[in-house]
Structure 1
Amino acid sequence: MVTVVDALRFADDLESGETLLDRKQTEDEQDERDVSDLLIDQVEFADVIILNKIDLVSAEAADAIKVLLKTLNPEAKILTASYGQIDPLDILNTKAFDFEKASQGAGWIKELNEEHIPETEEYGITSFLYKRQHPFHPKRFYEFLSELPEEIVRSKGFFWLATKEQSAGLVSQAGKSIQLQSAGTWVAALTEEEQQQTLKDEPELSSRWHPEWGDRLNELVFIGIGLDQEAITRELDQCLLTEEELKSDWRKLEDPFPDFSGR
């Protein structure tokens, strides 16, 4: 699976906020995909990335993009090219593609599995995992997502809203694009019989099973340039329910999020 990245336009494409319709790259009026989403998805799933047009950027800029691509997809082989000129043997009949490996190769998944990607201090590209087993206040977390620092290039993960105890949320951000959707039902929201069967089928889940919250938790990965991890962590901690709010009726909290249909 080969993805071609335009070295000259890469940063602009991530921050453009444009859709495929805006670019006239689709005729489907219902296709609302953002350019940045599509670009990041392709980078994360590829096993070969060709960084093209490196003759149009400085050597330092090309190196920085390569480091960022490696952070987004640590498993991919990265080739550089001008005018798309590469050795065909690097991409043809290699029989190198492994669907399972590609599905788990993205940098955010590795961070989620606590396989930390080493920082590259020279270019300020870092990543980190935010993990808490307390619910988010929906209004405060919504406001956080609405004002993400521009240094965050990619963030993705699961979140737990106090007002939605049944459904896990999934947030996927690439550049200026943010997608929110259900990630299914928390195991803790299932019947006792269903819980026991799931824990039997997935024994590793028992190791992180909270006596009160079960498997409900927040796991968010952030990848970016010049990230202030302490500041982002502090802001997210402020989105969690306070001790007083934990004792209140969570259903009455203001919730600007759309409905999640986990079941």
Structure 2
Amino acid sequence: MSRPELLVLSGLTPPGVEAVVTRIRALDPSVAVLHHDLRDVGRGVVRRRLRTRDDDVTTTVELAHGCVSCTMREDLLPQLVALAGPDGPARIVLHLDAALEPEHVCWSLLHVLVDGAPVVDAVDLRGVVTVVDTATWFDDATGEAALPERGLSDLPDDERTVAQVAVAQAEFADLIVPVDTADAWELARLDAVLARLAPAAPRVRIRELDERVFAPGAARRGRPDDVHAALLRGTPPLDGDCGVRLVLFSARRPFHPERLHDALDVLLDGVVRTRGRIWLATRPDAVLWLESAGGGLKVGHAGDWLDGAGPEVWEAASDERRAIAALGWHPRFGDRAQELVVLSHAADPDEIDAVLREALLTDLELAAGEDAWRELPDPFGWWHTDPCSPAADAVAGPEHRSEEEH
């Protein structure tokens, strides 16, 4: 029996997302559209809407615990499996709440079990479509507003910014649909950003959407990237356009934790996105993952370097990771390295590079050795956000980006 095709639809603009839903339903009236409204999830209430060819039904779902993960586990994922039954539609659109990041949802589709099996055993995950409002997305992606300030979340512990969600939705897309209108300069700058943020995702206007929406050409099909994979996905332009530029930073010596902490502001001013792996002198075994969007930044634990690790770590590593490590192996530091990709729109690329290099250990500090490095002041917790949050730094236990965020 063939599985129904599943398309994940995301975006911060409800009218734009609804316009795409309307277009898809016009192309194929048999499509089922499932949406969970999470505006009141903090109070344990979720409104589920299911649209099919014949019905449009909204159901109020009460949860024992008001959180996004409970909604996913207790209702959203089981509903998808039920829709995928023998009498269900051949195509399903999962219309995400505006505050949801599609990578997290897709991780759940791939790994959370429903009746003993992941949801992707019941559906054919075709990819992610993200709707971008050309008049507002750039300001959203470079701002500092928190989700609650925009009425997008009522969860007291949700410290994400609108920028983090906007960037994550576009970055993970297999297809981007621009909606609304903006002037020529704003459109050119937005195009320059998206070409570097999601280079493999075609950008298609609503009027041009056709059956291919269910088969994006270079689709990752909802598969999250490994944090140890190459940081540049696809072939983004490396030259500048409209002030937008990719800055590639790499180094083969550790960061001084305190100096790096002081340098983080350079990644928050005039920058759309930063992502990559860092190595702190105080933690020679730990791979730390750093990512920023607009005015928000976070650092978390992403496992261990292969150098000095046991055989089980090597066996668990992907072929790509082992190949990258072997190609760049350092006689003293093994696979340890600083690797960051910074997408800037107003920042000076040379200043970014210079500030980060000043945060590395000096030759004298490097010569002092690892015992001396461990004594350096270290303001980073296992989980760190910037602006600094005592509550965030108090999170106990190592943070694995590939697991904990989903």
Tell me which interval the TM-score lies in, with the shorter structure as reference length.
Answer: 0.7 to 0.9
> Structure 2 CA distance, aligned partners of 1:70 and 1:40?
13
Is contact 1:168–1:262 with CA below 8 Å preserved after alignment?
no
> Structure 2 CA distance, aligned partners of 1:89 and 1:149?
38
- 1:124/1:90 Cα in 2 relative to 1: closer, same or farther (>3 Å)? farther
> Any gaps of 5 or more consecutive residues in structure 2?
1-127, 384-397, 401-406
Question: SS of the counterpart of 2:259?
Answer: helix
- Matching residue's letter, 1:136: F
Confirm or deny that 1:234 pairs with 2:359. Answer: no
- Matching residue's letter, 1:58: D
Confirm or deny that 1:86 pairs with 2:207. Answer: yes
CA displacement at 1:229 relative to structure 2:
2.3
**Structure with the greater relative contact order (CA < 8 A, sep ≥ 6): 1 or 2?**
1
Question: SS of the counterpart of 1:21?
Answer: helix
CA root-mean-square deviation: 2.8
- 1:76/1:98 Cα in 2 relative to 1: closer, same or farther (>3 Å)? closer
Give the alignment of 1:1-263 within 5 angstroms.
1-54=128-181, 57-80=182-205, 85-89=206-210, 92-94=213-215, 96=217, 98-99=219-220, 103=224, 112=232, 117-121=237-241, 123-148=242-267, 150-191=269-310, 193-194=311-312, 202-248=322-368, 249-259=372-382, 261=398
- 1:120/1:148 Cα in 2 relative to 1: closer, same or farther (>3 Å)? closer
- Matching residue's letter, 2:144: G
My pick for the range that moved more, 142-151 or 212-221, is 142-151
My pick for the range that moved more, 147-156 or 5-14, is 147-156
Question: SS of the counterpart of 2:287?
Answer: strand
Q: C-alpha offsets along residues 24-57 of structure 1, whole Å, 9 cap, x if unaligned?
A: 2223333332211111111011121122111xx2
Identity in percent: 28
Aligned residues between the structures: 251
- Matching residue's letter, 1:63: A
Q: C-alpha offsets along residues 102-125 of structure 1, whole Å, 9 cap, x if unaligned?
A: 645xxxx7654795623244x121
- Matching residue's letter, 1:164: R
Is contact 1:165–1:189 with CA below 8 Å preserved after alignment?
no
- Matching residue's letter, 1:209: W
Question: SS of the counterpart of 2:176?
Answer: strand
Q: C-alpha offsets along residues 184-211 of structure 1, whole Å, 9 cap, x if unaligned?
A: 11112413x4576578962442221111
> Structure 2 CA distance, aligned partners of 1:238 and 1:99?
37
| Larger Rg, first or second structure (1 or 2) | 2
Is contact 1:138–1:254 with CA below 8 Å preserved after alignment?
yes
> Structure 2 CA distance, aligned partners of 1:196 and 1:16?
40
CA displacement at 1:89 relative to structure 2:
1.5
The alignment's TM-score, normalised by the length of structure 2, stands at 0.56
